[in-house]
Chain A
Amino acid sequence: MPKSAHAILIPVLAVLAIGLALFFFLSENRESIKKAPLTAGPAAEEGAVSSDLRPKRTVTLLFVGEDSESLIPEDREILADPASPAAEAREILRELIKGSQTGLLSAVPPETKLLQVYVDKEGTAFVDFSREFADRHPSGSTAEIATVYAVVNSLAQNLKTVKKVFLLVDGEERETLAGHIAIDHPILPDFSLIAGR
């Protein structure tokens, strides 16, 4: 066969191969789209769509900067739920655990999981973290102060109903976070630790 025939055949085969691949890829996708509502249910999909329309609010989370011991604010959007301070508290704490989006350091160990939040009538927020909150903490007075007040101040400055915060670890009261700062009582916020205050 002459070389010119090869020159025609190869591109044709290549186009065919790409076409076949695309066909299978798309049909698989179509199948998964068809399957999705069956497994997740139509209601779940509707929920996912409407959640984007739910009201949002901007909150200020606190992290640690490289250059000073002050807590540095960083704004974040969370789902607004004015009727439930505990629900908003949960959103705030989940975002705090996720860490900074602008390269600030996190005072809360990233392995920490939020187990439960409850706000009582007197304005005490009971925040129950998994044991990593204490066990994975690097220890040290400065680090512990940063952690305690990143959590307490982040809640108190965004939620009017929260006056103080009782930190629990794995459902239990702890004497200290990691050997220094007492967390055996509800802690009042200290806004003087925030940069610019």
Chain B
Amino acid sequence: MDPSKFSPRFFLRTAPLFLAAALTAGAPGLSLLSAADDSSSSAPVRNIIIDPGHGGVKPGAKGKFGTLEKDVTLAVSLKLKALIEKTMPFRVILTRDKDIDVSLENRAAVANNNDAQVFISIHANGSVRSKSHGAETFFMNVNASDEETRKLAYLENTGEELEKRIADEAQDAVKMILWDMAQAAYVRQSQRLAEMVQEDLNLELGLENRGIKQAAFKVLQGVACPAILVELAFISNPEEERKLSDESYQQRLAESIHRGLVRYLRLFPQK
């Protein structure tokens, strides 16, 4: 899908839809509009959202020696939060700061409710191959079906009329699709952020470059700002599992992500 289809005008025209959709998750509609509008003046201090993957009854991937993805993600997220707050004028909001289960939709809602500048989800990878190793950074693959693409194109062309005409029930379906695909408007910036974070991870860790990748991550779908998902290393690889539970390695991971983020924010200052 071509992200350029999501012009600011498109967001303004469909604002009522977004606002209505936003009610299901809080009230992120306004922040969504301003974030999408390139011409808006620089805002006051904004928020960086860090999302430690999994938690509570959802441990995520498990290592052979019992390391759980949810524990690694929280440890690295807390270190990253501390680094950002020490060096940059941003407020950092964690989607969870303890071992609890937070729904994927609520994680996106934290970003959309708090005028987020960027959203970084932290994960540890798992593979059926025990040899898989290295860090990689993902951004959203919208993977819209033909039907969804058609609906979006139709909406873009007939936004206002459509709202008046379509039945309430049908409108609900349309709203959900728009909300589902909020990330589609930020794919290019998300890609830049992913590139920079991945470069710094590679530099710091001297690992084989697994590159940046696109996949349909549920947690990124509804996030209305540049958003990435960092896979720190493979918890399914015994050697990397050991590293992931090592605090100094966790610190190096957090520092690498931090460096990539700083470079990105210099290139794309607050807007």
Q: Do A and B come from one complex?
A: yes
Bound Cα distance from A107 to B128, whole angstroms: 7
Residues of B within 8 A of A181 (CB): 215-218
Residues of A within 8 A of B58 (CB): 179
Residue of B whose beta carbon sits closest to that of A123: B146
What string of 1s and 0s marks CB contacts (under 8 Å) between B195-223 and chain A? Answer: 00000000000000000000111110100
The reply to whether A143 and B60 form a contact with Cβ atoms under 8 Å apart is no
Give the residues from 133 to 174 in chain A that come closer than 8 angstroms, CB to CB, to chain B.
138-143, 145-146, 164
Bound Cα distance from A188 to B147, whole angstroms: 12
Given contacts A66-B131, A107-B128, A180-B123, contact A140 B218 (CB under 8 A): no
Secondary structure at the A interface, as helix, strand, loop or mixed, is: loop
The reply to whether A143 and B104 form a contact with Cβ atoms under 8 Å apart is no
Residues of B within 8 A of A139 (CB): 59-62, 69, 126
Which of A66, A67, A138, A141 is in CB contact (< 8 Å) with B215?
A141
The reply to whether B53 and A179 form a contact with Cβ atoms under 8 Å apart is yes
The reply to whether B69 and A66 form a contact with Cβ atoms under 8 Å apart is no
The reply to whether B216 and A187 form a contact with Cβ atoms under 8 Å apart is yes
Residues of B within 8 A of A180 (CB): 123, 215, 217-219
CB distance from A104 to the nearest CB of B (A): 10
CB distance from B119 to the nearest CB of A (A): 16
The reply to whether A140 and B216 form a contact with Cβ atoms under 8 Å apart is no
Is A28's beta carbon under 8 Å from chain B?
no
Give the residues from 94 to 141 in chain B that come closer than 8 angstroms, CB to CB, to chain A.
104, 123-129, 131-132, 138
The reply to whether B128 and A182 form a contact with Cβ atoms under 8 Å apart is no
Residue of B whose beta carbon sits closest to that of A145: B215
Residues of B within 8 A of A179 (CB): 53-54, 58, 60
Is A127's beta carbon under 8 Å from chain B?
no
CB distance from B73 to the nearest CB of A (A): 11
Interface size on A, residues (CB 8 A): 29
Residues of B within 8 A of A175 (CB): 104, 218
Is B145's beta carbon under 8 Å from chain A?
yes
Bound Cα distance from A182 to B217, whole angstroms: 6
Is A77's beta carbon under 8 Å from chain B?
no
CB distance from B54 to the nearest CB of A (A): 6
Residues of A within 8 A of B127 (CB): 64, 69, 140, 142-143, 146
The reply to whether B129 and A66 form a contact with Cβ atoms under 8 Å apart is yes
Residues of A within 8 A of B215 (CB): 141, 145, 180-181
Bound Cα distance from A106 to B129, whole angstroms: 10
Residues of A within 8 A of B75 (CB): none
The reply to whether B236 and A138 form a contact with Cβ atoms under 8 Å apart is yes
Given contacts A141-B229, A179-B58, contact A164 B217 (CB under 8 A): no
The reply to whether A176 and B218 form a contact with Cβ atoms under 8 Å apart is yes
The reply to whether A141 and B138 form a contact with Cβ atoms under 8 Å apart is yes
Bound Cα distance from A64 to B128, whole angstroms: 8
Bound Cα distance from A69 to B61, whole angstroms: 17
CB distance from A108 to the nearest CB of B (A): 10
Highest count of chain A CB atoms <10 Å: which of B62, B128, B145, B147: B128
Given contacts A179-B54, A181-B217, contact A138 B62 (CB under 8 A): yes
Residues of B within 8 A of A107 (CB): 128
Give the residues from 56 to 78 in chain A that come closer than 8 angstroms, CB to CB, to chain B.
64-67, 69
Which 8 pairs across A and B sit closest by C-beta, in order of nearness? Answer: A140-B126, A140-B61, A182-B218, A142-B127, A139-B61, A182-B216, A176-B218, A143-B126
Supply 18 further A-B pairs (C-beta < 8 A) apart from A65-B129, A138-B128, A142-B127: A66-B129, A67-B131, A105-B129, A138-B61, A138-B62, A139-B59, A139-B62, A139-B69, A139-B126, A140-B125, A141-B126, A143-B127, A146-B128, A179-B53, A182-B216, A182-B221, A185-B143, A186-B145
Q: A residues near B, CB below 8 A?
A: 64-67, 69, 105-107, 122, 138-143, 145-146, 164, 175-176, 179-182, 184-188
